[in-house]
Amino acid sequence: MRIISITSLAILLLFIGLNYGCSDNKRPAVVFPKTDLAESPLIPMPVKMSSTSDAFGLDQYTAIKATGTDPGFEEVAEFLAEKIRTKTGLVLEVNPGDPENIDRMIYIQQTKIPGARGKEAYQIEIKKDSIVVNAEHPEAVFRAVQTLRQIIPETSNDTLADRSIWVIPTGLIADEPYFEFRGSMLDVARHFFSVEEVKKFIDLLAYYKINVLHLHLTDDQGWRIEIKSWPKLATIGGSTEVGGTGGGFFTQEDYMEIVAYAAKRYMTIIPEIDMPGHTNAASVAYPFLDGTGNPLKLYEGTRVGFSTFDTRRDSVYAFIDDVVGEIAAITPGPYLHIGGDESHATRPADYVHFINKVEKIVQKHGKRMIGWDEVATADMDSSSIAQFWASEKNADLAVKKGMKIIMSPAKKAYLDMKYDTVSKHGLNWAAYIPVDTAYNWSPERYSEGIPRESILGVEAPLWSETISNSTELEYLAFPRVIGYSELSWTLPEKRNWEGYRKRLAAQAPFLDRMNVNFYRSDLIDWKDSKFTYKEIPKD
């Protein structure tokens, strides 16, 4: 008797379990139009996508269930619920206690993905009654959630039932990135950007699976990060910016707030302290740092290459040790960028001496050094990374030294280059970069001397000589940075301009909803921000 009752209880529980989120029989069946998941305008394009032509109806009777030992899974589920709320107005419960009023479930599950190459591999299976997101790591689930956000249509279909339903095409997505490092850079030194402006940029980048934001924190025109042991760097060095419009700096608390905000989006912040050139603001604050002997004053112009630290003075290295130590201590990511570009006022032998010493300081503080490609002329450790922006010769040298390369060729990947001669903002010293040129190149084939195996990833830098707020930032960064996300995530054989062009056109409603001042290039037939669903009559 007892055994039977336990068995029947188990069967009952199993029955309840099977029905949990798996039925819409409490409400009249909805007849959905035929769908095609493969037509979803996803950017970046996933590795595999196949359609089963049915539909999952996202509505008020949907909930989200997260499993997994890592608390990151539930956090990502909450993130998804919040994004669904802001997009659709639907308030979906996460891990609902009572499944009574729930017809369909989105499962966020911790599962090993066979054959995954890294930590970001995920799969999404969309069926009529459930969406199952499988991944081993919360980071991968976060990427998967960006895919889901893109699949949910901007507007509901209100003709299918007595309630609004967002029609999600069924099928399977299996995905992982081509490059592990997918970045952008913001120059907060030439013009300062607020914490809120940086956060908005992070949100937009994360939506396109970009996982690195490099902050160019110091330059001739401004020092933008508080250093507690050298306070005048921020208070004096941070008081100006290009054009004489003020300045500003992040307190360490501000910086940590940005780091934490990025970390919630599985994005790594890379701090850059540019040296030995690009150091006028630091030397004005502490003149012993200066190696030029020229009169020092704060600078609000846009010339480069006139400043240098004194590379033969021990106290300069003690100073750098303090600065790197303080920044390393509040930077959880593995990298610290030391600039090293355009040090035209530093003698070549002094430059090599300097970079060699600074690399050791960065390592002492537990970080992996990144420098612009010029650093390859020093005696670099193979664990250090060269960011290729201008010199293929330097990049070749870096490859020969066993260093990894970040691909940021100015002619293709600099977000501050104008689109064309009539661009409202930007420069043109490297090139004009229209939206198609920004997309139509291959990081892995750009230079014979830089093979795929040496490439860590792609970064699109945004220098700020000509921009000073989010509106101007967005004009230069969007839509081009969306293309760089695809160049770094998507397999080479899956990238093509014509397909990308159509998918990019479909980003307009999202960008408009996010209040992004993107450049409406006439190479793209931008989709109207009012979603128009192709209705198929109910039978």
45 DSSP assignment: P
Least separation in angstroms between CB 221 and ligand ACM: 13
266 DSSP assignment: T
Residue nearest to ligand ACM (CB): 341
- Given a contact cutoff of 8 angstroms between Cβ atoms, the answer to whether 195 and 258 are in contact is yes
Nearest CB to ligand ACM, comparing residues 77 and 338: 338
Least separation in angstroms between CB 409 and ligand ACM: 11
| Residues 362, 356: Cα–Cα separation, whole Å | 10
| Residues 534, 537: Cα–Cα separation, whole Å | 10
- Active-site residue (options: 342, 374, 474, 486): 342
Least separation in angstroms between CB 187 and ligand ACM: 9
241 assigned to active site: no
Residue 533 tokens read as 């669903």
237 DSSP assignment: T
| Residues 62, 104: Cα–Cα separation, whole Å | 5
Q: Where are the beta strands (DSSP E) in 244-381?
A: 268-275, 335-339, 368-372
Nearest CB to ligand ACM, comparing residues 92 and 386: 386
Least separation in angstroms between CB 300 and ligand ACM: 18
Buried/exposed 98-136: b ≥16 CB within 10 Å, e otherwise: ebeebbbbbbbbbeebeebeebbbbbbbbbeebbbbbbb
Least separation in angstroms between CB 247 and ligand ACM: 20
Element (H, E) at 333: none
Q: Which residues contact 233 (CB under 8 A, 6 or more apart)?
A: 223, 225, 226, 227, 281, 282, 285, 286, 323
Count of positions (residues) in the chain = 539
Nearest CB to ligand ACM, comparing residues 250 and 372: 372
Nearest CB to ligand ACM, comparing residues 79 and 389: 389
- Given a contact cutoff of 8 angstroms between Cβ atoms, the answer to whether 376 and 401 are in contact is yes
Nearest CB to ligand ACM, comparing residues 123 and 280: 280
Q: Where are the beta strands (DSSP E) in 424-482?
A: 455-462
Q: Which residues contact 140 (CB under 8 A, 6 or more apart)?
A: 113, 119, 120, 121, 122, 176
Least separation in angstroms between CB 389 and ligand ACM: 4
| Residues 85, 294: Cα–Cα separation, whole Å | 58
Nearest CB to ligand ACM, comparing residues 79 and 193: 193
Nearest CB to ligand ACM, comparing residues 169 and 277: 277
Least separation in angstroms between CB 373 and ligand ACM: 8
Q: Which conformational region is residue 515 in: left (phi greater than 0), alpha (psi within -120 to 50 degrees), or beta?
A: left
Q: What is the CA radius of gyration of the chain?
A: 26
Q: Give the footprint of ligand ACM on this chain (CB under 6 A).
A: 341-342, 372, 389
Task: List the catalytic residues.
Answer: 342
